[in-house]
Structure 1
Amino acid sequence: MVRTRIEAVGAYLPATEVSTAELLAQLAVDSPIDLERVSGVRHRRRCAPDEDSFSVAAAAARSALDNSRYDAADLDVIISCSITRIRDGEFTVEPSFALMLRNELGAADAIHFDVSNACAGMLSGVLVLDRMIRAGIVKRGLVVSGEYITPIADTAVREMSEKYDPQFASLTVGDGAAAVVLDGDGTPDEGIDYIELNTSAAFAQLCLGMPSDRSSGIALYTDNRAMHNEQRYLLWTTRQQDFLKSRNSTFADECYDYVIHHQFSAPAVELINKIAEREFDATVPPGPAVLERYGNTASTSHFVVLHDALKQQRITSGAKVLMVPAASGVVAGFLSVTLGDLQV
């Protein structure tokens, strides 16, 4: 049977850095929550005036191809997963980002389409491409996302007037991009073990991105107290327990080396891991993170972490990595992948 593998990883983070202290200093609120303490975000990156969702996505795609044995012309498919589709100052719906990236990269023969699933976007793109490869539809492809999402922080800075404001979570985001090349050359010792996603619409109204109801900017409205609680966190553990049981396995049996959570809140991730250890009756492995340095980079976060950990040599060949999404919708699930010799 064909087994999909991650053949290459790339990422791009803008050079401009904004500290949490600098951001909070712009607020009109007299006594804002200690954002650094409750989120774990100390800095985030911000696109330069000549950068946007498209340019950073293209940079990440080139980074992945630089680390790949494939050229752009070898790609059978390009899947773009950005939440923010901003190019040249406009939010672009048509033509698709995937088409524009295909043309930019020179992947003339690649089929192309966008996948949108909030902060689970890239994991959704990987799921779709994995299924396409295993079905024999394509041999290899690129999943990419570029996020110029800090405009929601700009809106929050202008509009927040209360300590517990629904735009509070907007202050944790950072710009960035990531890309992965997948092919069907996996082996028993390298490849995607499984990937499953599930959506619970019961939580759908708790985190909404839309035009601001007070200005011309884009905004994110989040009910943090209702969004981040045990009931929501159990969506992951319950689904994975059921999945592993169907395979006559357990969390401990899987022998994960690392777990990468969506980068949204360090204290929340600590709570999720405690709940997971209780539910799985097993130790949760170490979790590489970039939240303190880069903030929440939305749909790109898992692969920004993976790229950073590979670059720092904190994750090496042969590691079994579990990725756990947490996205508006609400999307939960898991991706298990055993890594080969990835160069970054």
Structure 2
Amino acid sequence: MLQHSGIGVAITGSGSAAPLTSLDNQGLSQVVDTSDEWIASRTGIRQRHLADPAVYLRQLAAEAGQRALDMAGISALDVDLIVLATSTPDDLFGTASLVQAELGAMKAVAFDLTAACSGFVFGMVTASQFIRTGAYKTVLLLGADILSRWVDWSDRRTCVLFGDGAGAVVMQARSESDRLLGFELRSDGNQNSCLTLAYQPEAKALTSELSVGQGSFHPITMNGQEVYRFAIKRVPEVIEKALFKANLSVEQVDWLLLHQANQRILDAVAQRLTVPPDKVLSNMAKYGNTSAASIPIALDEAVRDGRIKPGDVVATAGFGAGLTWGAAIFQWGN
């Protein structure tokens, strides 16, 4: 177990939200040359939820956050810190403060954290540091993304993958126990080009001698084969390192909860770790890849339907753009 000041972390509530509108593979085949069989056999995805233009990230995040607060039995005014993991903010200056206002969590400080599909795991580790140092007692951690804003809907290699949604957990200080048992985080900017949502500058002349770059962001581009190879190699390694720090074996893990990127990746990672299929949580058939939201959405569903029970050990891992990847081992509940 990780050494710290004596203050532990408990994960006491979860929540999730998704846009009401969904698009199944058959409907997507009317947008781009593809089919349900092609998408499902390669990814495991059957449908995805898509936000209409009137839906904002802050609304989805606040809805998920309120459900997590309700499960934890606390009010928004009890929250000391809000961490929003997202790559698709409503405002590039930050959206966490908008979520704070939406919830009425006026005693909380709020900031965004960007680590793409690893964002929720990075956020969990970040939030735990504030709790363990005694700075804050109650943290609302959110993972939310509206990737449909940035998908090239003519690119069938990428547009079939992504969906929109939000998930949340409440993390609280505990003096008698620590439920965050171990973690490992990694980054490799040399592989950044494998998955990007990059700024595309256009020169704008201000004077005869001076130009600045203005423009927008290029839609998501991905080298799927490279991302697959990266994930099936690096994710098992990082989970094993986190388990070592937690002084646990793979056999002691009740649930494997990976970022919901592709069913083939989940299957390959589980196989390499010798985790049986019935311990692997997957909901990507309904949601697709929701980036930072995928882990907390799947967690919330498994908690609410009774699969994840208090005391269960969950090994979770995020991986994606950056490239970034990381794992956290935690026990659910107080």
User: Do the two structures share a fold, i.e. TM-score over 0.5?
Assistant: yes
Offset at residue 238 of structure 1 (A):
2.8
Match of 1:173 among 159, 162, 170: 162
Match of 2:319 among 326, 330, 333: 326
SS at structure 2 position matched to 1:7: strand
Q: Are the counterparts in 2 of residues 206 and 222 from structure 1 also a CA contact under 8 Å?
A: yes
Q: Are the counterparts in 2 of residues 211 and 219 from structure 1 also a CA contact under 8 Å?
A: no
Offset at residue 308 of structure 1 (A):
0.8
**Which residue in 2 is equivalent to 1:202?**
190
Confirm whether residue 223 of structure 1 aligns to residue 223 of structure 2: yes
Offset at residue 243 of structure 1 (A):
5.0
Match of 1:53 among 45, 54, 57: 57
Aligned in 2, Cα 1:312/1:50: closer, same or farther, shift over 3 Å? same
**Which residue in 1 is equivalent to 2:23?**
18
The amino acid that maps onto 2:143 is: S
Q: Structure 2-normalised TM-score?
A: 0.86
Kindly report structure 1 stretches of 4+ aligned residues shifted beyond 4 Å.
29-33, 215-218, 242-249, 282-285
**Which residue in 2 is equivalent to 1:239?**
238
Confirm whether residue 274 of structure 1 aligns to residue 296 of structure 2: no
Confirm whether residue 128 of structure 1 aligns to residue 122 of structure 2: no
Cα deviations by residue, 1:241-290 (Å, 9 ceiling, x for unpaired): 445556665433xx00010111111122112222233xxxx767611211
Structure 1 residue runs without a partner (length 5+)? 87-91, 161-166
Offset at residue 170 of structure 1 (A):
3.1
Q: Structure 1-normalised TM-score?
A: 0.84
Aligned in 2, Cα 1:101/1:194: closer, same or farther, shift over 3 Å? same
Match of 2:111 among 98, 113, 138: 113
Identity of aligned residues (%): 21
Offset at residue 226 of structure 1 (A):
1.6
Offset at residue 195 of structure 1 (A):
2.4
The whole-number CA distance in structure 2 between the counterparts of 1:26 and 1:168 is 13
Cα deviations by residue, 1:268-316 (Å, 9 ceiling, x for unpaired): 2112222233xxxx76761121100111111011110011111222222
Match of 1:37 among 41, 49, 71: 41
The amino acid that maps onto 1:76 is: D
Cα RMSD after superposing both structures: 2.6
Offset at residue 338 of structure 1 (A):
0.8
SS at structure 2 position matched to 1:169: coil
Q: Are the counterparts in 2 of residues 81 and 299 from structure 1 also a CA contact under 8 Å?
A: yes
**Which residue in 1 is equivalent to 2:211?**
none
Aligned in 2, Cα 1:242/1:50: closer, same or farther, shift over 3 Å? closer
The amino acid that maps onto 1:208 is: T
Kindly tell me the number of residue pairs found equivalent between the two proteins. 316
Q: Are the counterparts in 1 of residues 250 and 273 from structure 2 also a CA contact under 8 Å?
A: no
Aligned in 2, Cα 1:293/1:139: closer, same or farther, shift over 3 Å? same
**Which residue in 2 is equivalent to 1:256?**
253
Q: Are the counterparts in 1 of residues 59 and 99 from structure 2 also a CA contact under 8 Å?
A: no
**Which residue in 2 is equivalent to 1:97?**
95
